[in-house]
Structure 1
Amino acid sequence: MTTHTDPLTGRGRATLVLEDGTAFTGLAYGAIGETYGEAVFSTGMTGYQETLTDPSYHRQVVVMTAPHIGNTGVNDEDAESGRIWVSGYVVRDPALRPSNWRSQRTLEDELVEQEIVGICDVDTRALTRHLRESGAMRVGIFSHTDESAETLAQRVREQPQMAGSELASEVSTKETYVVPAQGDRRFTVAAVDLGIKGMTPRRLAERGIDVHVLPADCTFDQIQQVNPDGVFFSNGPGDPSTAPQVEVLRQVLESGVPFFGICFGNQLLGRALGFGTYKLKYGHRGINQPVLDRTTGKVEVTAHNHGFAVDAPRDGEPVQAPAGEQFGRVRVSHIGLNDNVVEGLECLDIPAFSVQYHPEAAAGPHDAAYLFDRFVELLAKHSTSKTKENN
């Protein structure tokens, strides 16, 4: 094998190859080796540490559209989970050194430590435009080979596709744990971990909620053992059409316990109600996505990370849930303003709602934080009604 080293940076050469044969040459960034995944792009100008540690990015190679990455380094406070989940990382211009008072080490050192193969000095604008036009696709990054792009593309095409992949079980907690309420405890919530971000139970705990985080393969009986005032389904990776949690969620809805879901949880609510889901051409990823909340008429700037969406009527008019009369009427409560994608569901006859984006919003924005308050209001209303029934 011939070694190619850039004389200015000392970095070795690396190659990125898409499944359609398109290839980009750059420099090795992070660990040396090879990696595969689905190529997706994130439009966030900041928050790269939160992106890297978001379990929803499991088995994806993330292309950052912001050209300069790594300025603020890495710290021990901002991670959304215990490890980096992306399969690979693509940036144009990595920072020479971090410059932030909270920085504890460089981004590249963290990538090397966690064995994340990346590539830099790539025309990420051209790569992003190609993914927008052709759609998200499988990709490989290679920093230790002289094989031809054609040979590498064939290896990329041998990798599993995202459509049809069940991945939530691969990122979920294996054991139940509790995030205790801050201050006076008001409610108990069973949160099913499909790839939950660390900030989410923290946002619930800030509102006086004991959060019992359960594994993705939990049963309805195990949820009931928590004696929850409400149930929460988190974000997560994979194709919602493969998720076994849909049947568990139907049992939750039939029980009358209030439900709130985000991202993957929104897709599963859609499927539990009888709607379909489909794969988006290139998805929504980043912290600058505009969404209309039809309940208030306000436009929110929101954080997204999803490649699938719910297929439901988008005119905002209530319809009978296709899965059965027991679920009552449902309407699309939020809509994406870039492409009219369903961004939220609201059940009108049972206590359940969901959104496709991330109201915990680490590293921001915070326009959607009110959704946690909306969930608390639903819990309080249901608790009051249950007390009256018992009396």
Structure 2
Amino acid sequence: MGDRAQDNRLRRRAFRPALTVPFLAALCALASGLGLAQAGRSAPPELAGEAVRSTKAAFRRPADTPFPGTNPFSPEKEALGKALFFDPRLSRSGSVSCATCHNPSLGWTDGLPRAVGFGMEILPRRTPQVRNLAWAAAFQWDGRADSLEMQARMPITAPAEMNMTMDLVIARLKAAPGYAPLFRAAFAGDDPLNAGNLLAALATYERTLVSPRAPFDRWIEGDEAAIGPDAKQGFALFIGKAGCSACHSGWRFTDDSFHDIGLAVTEDVGRGAFAPPSVTAMQHAFKTPSLRELRMQGPYMHDGQLPDLDAVLEHYARGGEKRPSLSFEMKPLELAADERRALVAFLQTLKAEPVPVALPHLP
């Protein structure tokens, strides 16, 4: 038990901010107040006011998108990054771009149980979401990249994915005359068309991919009619009885941490491949995905092993497979049919109306 407790403390300290006691109290207050409202009773005065406001504030969208000082935003860099994101010349076959797997028409993913790589090879993991990553603290399902710039290189150079070298990518772009002026407009220096600037431009464009305002956002901002009573009950369950917000926290509904949620074991140990063996909690642990823009038809989890939301809710109700690395947040619970429907109704409020994406003119 001592080793397990140490594992959990290490995980919390390394990968997510601690939840404060006042914030947890506010969550409980809001959940209780919403639950009373669904029962047709008024919440006690002590549940109103600052507790509710501070809890809702934890789920409020930020006003601005952050960009690192080492790679500040510019419209020219965004335009270059967008062209690169949609350009299949970044792959060895010349037929696969970043947008092939992160397709805006499919919610910036591919809709497949698992990604398809070079030579039509089925990869072991699903294509992750690419939106709202400007706020992320770790990247990839196993967190092996600590910046979007680092992450941008990985699929390009992975033999099983785009199967390229950065030298060959740069040679191809230099052979396309239209790219040189785009790089000169976005970056200073005598020879701006280089690998570092390519990755910086891709990361800049990806940071601009932010989910539009959803009905949940309007409710958080004070529009009580923005979501229905069933969704409000679902949110009360989400932050209360069901305990979902222990990991799916904040406006992006992720703690950017890694958890073993007790899925069927495969050879893929996730974060465990990059953590010391003594950190048991990281074995079979994968990054908490955001629930924003959730594809309601599935599949779900890092490897697509759960086909639909019914299977997901049943998995969490059972509490997952018991093993030493199982996250301490995973506990069996009883969820009635109406409670499951309410949770799904709440998840629906995190979806925004899609915004058309104009395809770039490629050099």
Q: What TM-score bracket applies, with the shorter chain setting the length?
A: under 0.3
The TM-score with structure 1 as length reference comes to 0.22
Larger relative strand fraction: 1
Higher helix proportion (structure 1 or 2):
2
TM-score, length of structure 2 as denominator length: 0.23
